[in-house]
Structure 1
C-alpha cells in the first residue's frame, strides 16, 4: 500500500474527526517548522475519565502512522515513564487493536477504544 493511500485516508479521517469527536479529546497532525502539516504524526490530548483516578487530568499521546496505514495500525505512545498497566515503561500502549495482525482500523476507533481503555483502568 503506498503512502499516498495512507495520507489520503488520514486526510479524510481528519475531516471526519474535526466534525465529530468525543468532547475533551484533541487530535491534531504535527505541524512542521515550515508550517506544513505532517499527517503521519498526530499529537493528541486525552481527558481522564470521570469517576476514575484519572478524572480531571489531560494526558498527551502521540500516534505515528506508517505508509501502510490503514492495513497496519499506528504506534501509540504516551511520554516515557507514564504509569499505567496498559502502557510499557517506554510509553508504548499495549492493546490488541494495535497489533499488526489486527484487521483494518479507523482513526476514531483508535482514539476512543484505545485511549478510553488506557485512562479508565483505575476506578476511584
Structure 2
C-alpha cells in the first residue's frame, strides 16, 4: 500500500473524528518542527471514567501509523 493511500485515509478519519467524538477525548496528529502535521504519528487522550479510581485523570496514548495503514494497525 502506498503512503498516499494511508495518508488520505488518516486525513479522512481525522475529519470524521473532529465532527463527532466523545466529550473529553482527543486525538490529533503531532506537529513537525516546521509546524506541519505528521499524519503518521498521533497523540490521543482518554479521560478517566467518573466514579472510578481513574476519575479526573487523563491517560495519554501515542499512535504510530505505517505507510501500510489501514492494512496494518498502528503501534
Task: Give the TM-score taking structure 1 as reference length.
Answer: 0.58
User: How far off is 1:49 after superposition?
Assistant: 1.4
User: How far off is 1:52 after superposition?
Assistant: 1.9
* Residue 72 (structure 2) aligns with: 72
Match runs of 1:1-124 below 5 Å: 1-75=1-75
Secondary structure of the residue aligned to 1:15 is helix
Structure 1's consecutive aligned runs of 4 or more residues displaced over 4 angstroms after TM superposition are none
Root-mean-square deviation over aligned CA pairs = 0.8
Q: Mind listing any 5+ residue stretches in structure 1 that lack a counterpart? A: 76-124
Tell me how many residue pairs correspond in the alignment. Answer: 75
Structure of higher RCO (CA pairs closer than 8 Å, 6+ residues apart): 2
Secondary structure of the residue aligned to 1:43 is strand
CA offsets 1:69-100 (integer angstroms, 9 cap, x no match)? 1111101xxxxxxxxxxxxxxxxxxxxxxxxx
Q: Mind listing any 5+ residue stretches in structure 2 that lack a counterpart? A: none
User: How far off is 1:51 after superposition?
Assistant: 2.4
User: How far off is 1:67 after superposition?
Assistant: 0.6
Q: Which moved more, 1:48-57 or 1:26-35?
A: 48-57
1 or 2, which has the higher strand percentage? 2
